[in-house]
Amino acid sequence: MVEKVDYNNLPKATIKRLPQYYRLFKQLLDENTTRTNSRKISETIGIDAATVRRDFSLFGELGRRGYGYDTKILREFFAHLLGNDVDTYIALIGVGNLGHALLHYPFQRRNRLQIVQAYDVASNPLVGTTSDSGIPVYDIADIKSHLEEDHIETAILSVDTPHAQEVADVLVAAGIKGILNFTPVFLQVPEHIHVQSIDLTKELQTLIFFTINDIRIESDND
C-alpha cells in the first residue's frame, strides 16, 4: 500500500533516482515483463539492491514479499509521482547552439514533456519565426503574455552566462516556477522558485577526476 508521503523529507539522492526507476519500469512494461525484484533492478540500473529497497520503502509497500514488484503498477506510480501522466509544457530561453539542440531533443517520445515555446532577444533573426521542429520563437520582451497562453510554469535557461541572472529575474516576474539552468551561474531567486542546474563543464571535470584517479562511483547509467 502506498502511504501518504511528506515529499519535503525525501532524501535528495532518492528524488534524483526517481526518473531512473520510471524509465526502468516503462522499459520493462514495453518488453511485456510483468514483474521484477530489487536484485534485477540493481543489475539493470547500477544501484545496489539495498538502496532500491530503501528508496521504495519511503513510499510504503510498493511490492510484495515473494512476488516482487508489479511493473505496470510501479510504472504508473512513478509516472504520477514525476508528473508524466499529464502533459507538461516548457519554454526554452536562449536559442543559441545549445538551445537549437534542445529544440530537437525528443522529450515527448519518452514522456509527456514538451518544449512548446522558445525565446531570445529581438536582435536574434530567429525571433518571429518558427523553428524546423515547429516551435515558435518569440521576443523575450513579450514572454509573460505568451506563457499565459499555454499555462507554462517551467523554463529551460540556455543563455550566455553574463545574462543568466537578468533573464532569470524576467522569468520569475513572468510567473515561471521552475528553471532548468544550463549556465554555470548560481541563480538568486525567491524561495518558492525551484532551480535545477546542469553545469556540463563541472560534470565533465568531475568525471575526469574520477577517471584519472581510478575511483569507483555509483553508476548514473540509465
Same domain assignment for residues 103 and 191: yes
Q: Tens of pLDDT along 143-187?
A: 999 999 989 999 999 999 999 999 999 999 999 999 999 999 999
Evaluate whether 126 touches 115 at the Cβ level (below 8 Å). Answer: no
What is the percentage of the chain residues whose pLDDT exceeds 70? 92
Inter-residue contact 187 to 165 (CB < 8 Å):
yes
Whether residue 156 sits in one domain with residue 121: yes
220 falls within a domain: no
Residues 114 and 33 in one domain: no
Query: What's the chain's average pLDDT?
Result: 89
Half-sphere exposure of 74 (CA within 13 A, CB side): 33
Say yes or no: 93 and 116 in one domain.
Answer: yes
Of all residues in the chain, the percent with pLDDT exceeding 90 is 62
CATH number at residue 69: 1.10.10.10
Question: Count of domains in the chain?
Answer: 2
Give pLDDT, residue 135. 94
Q: Are 121 and 177 in the same domain?
A: yes
> Do 35 and 107 sit in the same domain of this protein?
no
pLDDT at 3 over 60: no
Looking at the fold, whether 133 and 166 belong to one and the same domain comes out as yes
Run of H or E residues at 36: strand 35-36
The residue written with cell numbers 531533443 in the block is 105
The pTM assigned to this predicted structure is 0.77
- For 30-61, the pLDDT digits (tens) are 999 999 999 999 999 989 999 999 999 998 88
Domain that holds residue 177: 88-202
Q: Dump pLDDT digits (tens) for 21-31.
A: 999 999 999 99
Grid cell listed for 44: 539493470
CATH number, position 137: 3.40.50.720
**DSSP at 9:** G
Same domain as 116, residue 35:
no
